[in-house]
A and B are shown apart, each in its own frame.
Chain A
Amino acid sequence: MSVLVAASALLVAGCGHAAPATTLTVLAAASLRDAFRAAGTAYASTHPGVALTFSFDASSALRAQVEQGAPVDVFASADVANPDQLVNAGRTIGPATPFAGNALALIVPAANPAGIAAPADLARPGVALLTASANVPIAIYAMRVIANLAAEPGAPAGFAAAVERNTVSREDNAAAVVAKVVLGEADAAFVYATDARAAGAAVRSIPLPDRVNVTAAYAAVVARQAHDPAAAAAFVAWLAGADGRSVLAPFGFAPPP
């Protein structure tokens, strides 16, 4: 009897909390983890009826999940290509909305075991470089930076090929790349500037000239299978608007290019 009373008391207490009317499932690029958690808190405080749950991974992996029909409301990608692919396949409601920009950084572990002082050192034999799987946005951006470095006047001959030879692993996503450089398991990696900043003193950034750096454009879409398209679209609009920008900016994200 007392158990019953206790159980019903718990139930009543549970109902007492204002349960959000809707929960949006947001799949987001791994590089958005910290910023989106903050965005989730900020959004919940101003939109009491909406709760956000996140899943972070490589944008390419998340795009595949959306294609497979995963219960997704919003997909926020570290590039425009992956959302556009969904838009073109008719798997979204509306077009992709750019909401942030990022740059790349070249990081080494704090101890800098390979003694890397400039990007040209990445081509030295024996340097262990990390990147992500070929279709993950960070790997594509890194390839572009490497191509730009190779085209610089005075670049070592065969720079791009040497960098490719020095690559020891293609990790799942940008966050895994950062984690293994922080652990000191690899000598260097191209990562997002925001991730380099979040890693703090655990890594050191090797200066990259602006002319070889690239701009990463982040874009979000509302998935066709969204259970609450209106709430999902409202979140995307918030993200791309002044409120979203002011939440993302402290993490180092720029306005969309």
Chain B
Amino acid sequence: MTTLVFARDRRDSLLAGALPRFVAAGWVLFLGLPIAALLVRAATVGRFDDAAAGRAVLDALVLSLVTTATSLGLAVLFGLPVAWLLARRPPRGAVLLETLIDLPIVLPPSVAGLALLFVFGRQGVLGGPLAAMGLSIPFSTIAVIIAQTFVAAPFFIRAARAGLRSVHRDLEDAARVDGGGEVAVALFVTLPLAAPALAAGLVMAWARALGEFGATIMFAGNFEGRTQTLPLLVYSEFQASSDAAVVAASILVVAAFGVLLGVRLARRGSVTELGGTG
């Protein structure tokens, strides 16, 4: 009897401790090795003295920063009201609406690029009239921003919707009892309480926009300084067997890791703060 209990204890501790740790170590290797290999390769590139490629990397970096910042702005501008509506005043058919909003998350980016081409392309539903007015969207920086917003905004809307929903109505009602108007309640109660969720959504959306490749190359094309973002540059330069691919890829890895870590640390700080005052 005792040996049986003992055996079960040992088995439980194996399942609870050693096994997950072993699996986790394997997983860390699986994720970490490619990243490490890339960074090591970048470190051994040595002095990166190809001036033209260097300028292309810099152009792509600037373009990526500008376009992702703009896409993020658009995601908030249009996404926040949508998330608000879905969280607080779900219209009839909200399930369909939410599914539609989530769709770009599942769609392969190449499908998104093709669909965008049919709407904003020169023969497109909207692109046709715009082209007639002299504004051609494909192959422009605007197309890059449209592609990024299309694929990335759903991540923000999803997180914002969940965040707004999780804010207790009681807290808002208390503020209203204290004489707060609807706008004041939203600005000073609801949004601050939902802030961590909004921030998480922003990071996810930014990360998705930064990594956007398929929709961009199909819809916005690939041109240095205009539509060639960092992921497109990595692809193009790899085909040219250029070190610039490795350099640009490393910039992407470091930037993405830095932002994810930064946000994580900042959120941990704010959580501790809440814990301290509460």
A171, B222: Cβ atoms closer than 8 Å: yes
Interface flags for A42-64 (1: CB within 8 Å of B; 0: not) read 00000000000000001011001
Contact flags A128-148 to B (C-beta < 8 A → 1, else 0): 101001111000000000000
Q: Contact at B221–A168, with CB atoms within 8 Å?
A: yes
Q: Is B240 an interface residue (CB 8 A)?
A: yes
Chain B interface mostly helix, strand, loop or mixed?
Answer: loop
CA distance A167 to B236 in the complex (A): 16
Known contacts A172-B217, A183-B123, A184-B121; is A133 also within 8 Å of B222 by CB? yes
What is the minimal beta-carbon distance from A205 to any residue of chain B, in angstroms?
20
B222 touches A170 (CB 8 A): yes
Query: Which chain A residue has the least Cβ–Cβ distance from B221?
Result: A169
B200 proximal to A (CB < 8 A): no
Q: Contact between B139 and A169 (Cβ–Cβ < 8 Å)? A: yes
| CB contact under 8 A between A186 and B139, given known A168-B221, A170-B223 | yes
Are A64 and B241 in touch, CB under 8 angstroms?
yes
Contact between chains at B239 and A61 (CB < 8 Å): yes
Residue B117 interfacial (CB < 8 Å): yes
B229 within 8 A of A: no
- Any B CB within 8 A of the CB of A185: yes
Contact of A184 among B122, B227, B228, B236 (CB under 8 A): B122
Number of interface residues of B (CB under 8 A): 22
A60 and B240 contact, CB distance less than 8 A: yes
Q: What is the bound-complex CA distance between A13 and B249, given in angstroms?
A: 48
A84: which B residues are within 8 A, CB to CB?
A: none
The number of A-B residue pairs with CB atoms under 8 Å apart is: 60
- Please, how many residues of chain A have a CB less than 8 angstroms from a CB on the other chain? 23
Interface residue? B238 (CB, 8 A): yes
Task: Tell me, rounded to whole Å, the shortest Cβ–Cβ distance linking B31 to chain A.
Answer: 21
Among A128, A172, A185, the residue within 8 A (CB) of B222 is A172
Task: Determine the chain A residues whose CB is within 8 A of the CB of B139 once the complex forms.
Answer: 128, 168-169, 185-186
Contacting pair B138 A60 (CB below 8 A): no
> Which one, B121, B224, B235, contacts A185 given CB within 8 A?
B121
Q: Is A69 in contact with chain B by the CB < 8 A criterion?
A: no
Min Cβ gap A28→B in Å is 16
Instruction: Return chain B residues, CB-CB under 8 Å to A67.
Output: 241
Cα–Cα, bound, A133→B138 (Å): 17
Mask, B120-151, CB within 8 Å of A = 1, is 01110000000000001011000000000000
Beyond A170-B236, A183-B117, list 15 extra A-B contacts (CB 8 Å).
A64-B238, A67-B241, A130-B221, A133-B239, A134-B240, A136-B239, A168-B221, A169-B220, A169-B221, A169-B227, A170-B221, A170-B224, A180-B138, A183-B121, A184-B123
Residues in B lying within 8 Å of A, measured CB to CB: 117, 121-123, 136, 138-139, 217, 220-224, 226-228, 235-236, 238-241
Among all A-B residue pairs, the 9 with the closest Cβ atoms: A169-B221, A168-B139, A61-B239, A135-B240, A169-B139, A184-B123, A185-B138, A60-B239, A170-B222
A interface residue numbers (CB < 8 A to B):
58, 60-61, 64, 67, 113, 128, 130, 133-136, 167-172, 180, 183-186
